[in-house]
Structure 1
Amino acid sequence: MQTLKVPLIDISPLISKSQGNVDLISSVIQEISLACQNWGFFYVINHNIKESVISSVESESLNFFKLPKEIKSTVARFDGNFQGYSDTELTKQKLDWKQIFDFSPEDAFQSEVTSPLKGIGIHGKNQWPNDAILPNFKNTMTSYLKEVRNLGLVLMQAIFKGLEMDCSQIVDTQDLLEYCFSIKEDTSFGRLNYYPEYVSNGNNSNQLGVGPHSDAGVLTVLYQQEGVCSLQVLKDNTFYDIPPIKDSFVINIGDMTQVWSNGRYKAPIHRVLTNANKTRISIPFFLNPKYSCLVEPLCPREDQIYRPILWSEFRKGRVLGDYADLGEELQISHYLVK
């Protein structure tokens, strides 16, 4: 399979604020803007998350997935709770070849009672393995989630600034950032993905780890285990490998960012292949807005190609399709202006 030369962007000027060097910061923002327009995917380096932190998360993830299923099942998802372990997720009505563990920021929105999606199990309290079994698991994951969420917000601020450069007039994106990503109402979450070895029995030789899809939310920050290349992105009707690069994160924009950009930025279709010889760990963080956030194109002088989307409505449609075969899965194409 061919490898796509996805941009590798040094974001240290964004992290350090480059000591007031506006030109250097603007250059990085332009790089990100071009990557969002041309690929929807890019790598970031010099992101200020220590290698030791990432290594601990990967190690604890492997420790969890190596546990017997009866122990993992003690923190399994159930009706009314979206958090925890599952091995039955669907992508566009097809079962993925993976196991997952989902968790949210501890101080974020976890109340099913007050959720606008009450009754479909999107929220609930985080479920953690027993400390006697994995004593470092909870602290490792919660600490990592804080750091990667901050990284996601830095990148979203840059993406919004890139849109400001492209538009002659735009809403105040700093206010939008603060409004949509209030931590107390956050719907972002982290995920541990484990892809077991897959050997075809002849009946399903085309089994994928995850089928082709775009991410529903705003932005995904992905760590990939080194030594296994399974992630692929669709460009010009061809799937290209997105191999792991040491000390980097893979970033891809989601459907909501495509809507905010009025289609200027593209939420890429991507998939994950199975591997007959190796297991694989990946750790995505999905940056999502609060449920009351109304997502609509930000450039007011352009003809809008999307109708406004209430995030809670879109999230509900996509999540329901992840756990049951409901026919056609909800997409942003359903919100195109006729």
Structure 2
Amino acid sequence: METFPVIDLSKLSDEERKPTMEMIHDACENWGFFELVNHGMSPELMDTVEILTKEHYRKCMEQRFKEMVARKGLEAVQSEINDLDWESTLFLSHLPVSNMAEIPDLDEEYRKTMNEFAVELEKLAEQLLDLLCENLGLEKGYLKKAFCGSKGPTFGTKVSNYPPCPKPDLIKGLRAHTDAGGIILLFQDDVVSGLQLLKDGQWIDVPPMKHSIVINLGDQLEVITNGKYKSVMHRVIAQTDGTRMSIASFYNPGSDAVIYPAPALVEKEAEKTPGYPKFVFEDYMKLYAGLKFQAKEPRFEAMKAMDPIATA
């Protein structure tokens, strides 16, 4: 079994830059996922984020989750559940506007810490997009610009907790899907595992590692790279003990950004016509909302079939 790619970002600044860039390229091409260590984010900040996230779940969300489980009779299910996930979630929006002031049960310390964390993650996302440009032979800044739209990129965080589940064989923590957006940065629990990706027909564990950030690519990067880099199906397996923390931040195109294969990548492969559609990101998201847990290919086909005036 191939080992899951773990990339030390600090090596970009020394003589190991070339092999490190090759590892990133290989991970994007063959895995759609990789794990970053020495990414420049302060371990102290990450520890604070983790402590406050777990505290917020215990104080504000755990009881609500238990009530939902009781209401739906999930403790006693006898057959597989395919229409819900065993997760408790909170959505934070950072760009183009923040919603953090409006979320009632976020205390001031947690709000401040998550804002600080989002700033660091945004920087890291933009650094990674430029590394991808370099590997793809695109001009620096191309991907960031492609994501911009009229108001800049969309950036938000899904804070999830996956409590212990009595029937992990019947209820998924999170059902299999590809991510709709751009580049995803995940700070996950380093004790309780559960995240898996599909590679060559097999489910592979994404290893929990202290202070690492897991990166995966969304559908929009597959379109822009004309399939050179692909989004990958992944899921979360619920566990019988321990609550798994997952903080996934999505650096996505702006709602009115027009997404299409980069002409430079289509030209490079003359025999390859752009196999991917041109569309407005918001239109893709509307379609994705109802089809998240299905294969991505029909979504791309549906976008191709849409009125071309909408993407002019």
TM-score (norm 2): 0.81
Report the CA distance shift for 1:248/1:321 in structure 2 as closer, same or farther (over 3 A).
same
Offset, 1:130: 4.5
Offset, 1:28: 2.8
**Given the alignment of the two structures, is residue 286 of structure 1 paired with residue 278 of structure 2, yes or no?**
no
Code of the residue aligned with 2:96 in structure 1: it is F
- Tell me the residue number matched to 1:80: none
Offset, 1:283: 0.8
Equivalenced residues, count? 282
Offset, 1:321: 5.0
Determine the C-alpha separation between the residues in 2 that align with 1:212 and 1:319: 14
- Tell me the residue number matched to 1:244: 208
Determine the C-alpha separation between the residues in 2 that align with 1:45 and 1:296: 31
- Tell me the residue number matched to 2:275: 305
Instruction: State whether residues 259 and 296 of structure 1, in contact with CA within 8 Å, keep that contact through their aligned partners in structure 2.
Output: yes
- Tell me the residue number matched to 1:199: 166
Report the CA distance shift for 1:158/1:61 in structure 2 as closer, same or farther (over 3 A).
same
Determine the C-alpha separation between the residues in 2 that align with 1:321 and 1:96: 15
Percent identity between matched residues is: 28
- Tell me the residue number matched to 2:103: 128
Q: Deviations over 1:83-112 (max 9, x none)?
A: xxxxxxxxx97211101111122xx3249x
- Tell me the residue number matched to 1:334: 299
- Tell me the residue number matched to 2:141: 174
**SS of match in other structure, 1:185:** coil
**Given the alignment of the two structures, is residue 94 of structure 1 paired with residue 83 of structure 2, yes or no?**
yes
CA RMSD of aligned residues (A): 2.9
Instruction: State whether residues 93 and 321 of structure 1, in contact with CA within 8 Å, keep that contact through their aligned partners in structure 2.
Output: no
Report the CA distance shift for 1:146/1:70 in structure 2 as closer, same or farther (over 3 A).
same
Report the CA distance shift for 1:70/1:254 in structure 2 as closer, same or farther (over 3 A).
closer
Determine the C-alpha separation between the residues in 1 that align with 2:147 and 2:141: 10
Task: Tell me which protein shows more helix as a share of its residues.
Answer: 2
Determine the C-alpha separation between the residues in 2 that align with 1:62 and 1:70: 10
Question: Where in structure 2 are the equivalents of 1:1-338 lying within 5 Å?
Answer: 5-14=3-12, 18=13, 24-69=16-61, 94-105=83-94, 108-110=95-97, 127-130=102-105, 134-164=107-137, 172-178=139-145, 180-181=147-148, 184-200=151-167, 205-298=169-262, 299-301=265-267, 302=269, 303-320=273-290, 331-336=296-301
Offset, 1:329: 5.2
Instruction: State whether residues 149 and 255 of structure 2, in contact with CA within 8 Å, keep that contact through their aligned partners in structure 1.
Output: no
List gaps (5 residues or longer) in structure 2: 66-80, 306-312
Deviates more, 1:52-61 or 1:301-310: 301-310
Instruction: State whether residues 100 and 193 of structure 1, in contact with CA within 8 Å, keep that contact through their aligned partners in structure 2.
Output: yes
Report the CA distance shift for 1:242/1:176 in structure 2 as closer, same or farther (over 3 A).
closer
Instruction: State whether residues 317 and 330 of structure 1, in contact with CA within 8 Å, keep that contact through their aligned partners in structure 2.
Output: no
List gaps (5 residues or longer) in structure 1: 74-91, 112-123, 165-169, 323-327
Deviates more, 1:59-68 or 1:40-49: 59-68
Q: Deviations over 1:234-284 (max 9, x none)?
A: 111110111211221111111111111211212111100011111110111
